[in-house]
Structure 1
Amino acid sequence: MKDIKSFLIGFLMCACMFLFMGQMEGTNYSGRYELGVNNDNLYAMDKMTGQTWYRAEHDGELVWKESVKRYQFRNKFGY
């Protein structure tokens, strides 16, 4: 009977620990990047910083080039 009590106490302590871990606040980066398509161009934007990149061909291969620098959008429009 003592082993069952120990097992049950251990199980409940683990369950409580998982519940507390789930309640902790953390940074949620879900949805941080936005993708857009315009005719032949592909754009990516970091919604947290305003930094924007576009897909371009350079020396025969596709690379990401910076279109709007970090925080440039916010500073330009007073955000």
Structure 2
Amino acid sequence: MIDLSIESNTLLKKCLKEWRPELILMVEDVNTLKYTESFYNQLRDVVGCELIAKGFNENYEPNNYGIRLEKLIDEIGNLFM
């Protein structure tokens, strides 16, 4: 299972549901102890898609949702760095 806070995990699943629902089961798998760097990068790409689609205001500045998504991208990156 991905080692994220409940809030971050919920946000990640929301992004996955929108962009890559087939990955949700892999994220929820309690038997998986180690994920590959490639898998984490797939998750970051999904969150990035959500960020581009919904995370900026009309001035191309991150809105509150975008700030949360940027934080999630960093959190996922920290899991494999």
Q: What is the TM-score normalised by the length of structure 2?
A: 0.24
Q: Give the structure, 1 or 2, with the largest relative contact order (CA under 8 Å, sep 6 or more).
A: 2
Q: What is the TM-score normalised by the length of structure 1?
A: 0.25
Larger radius of gyration: 1
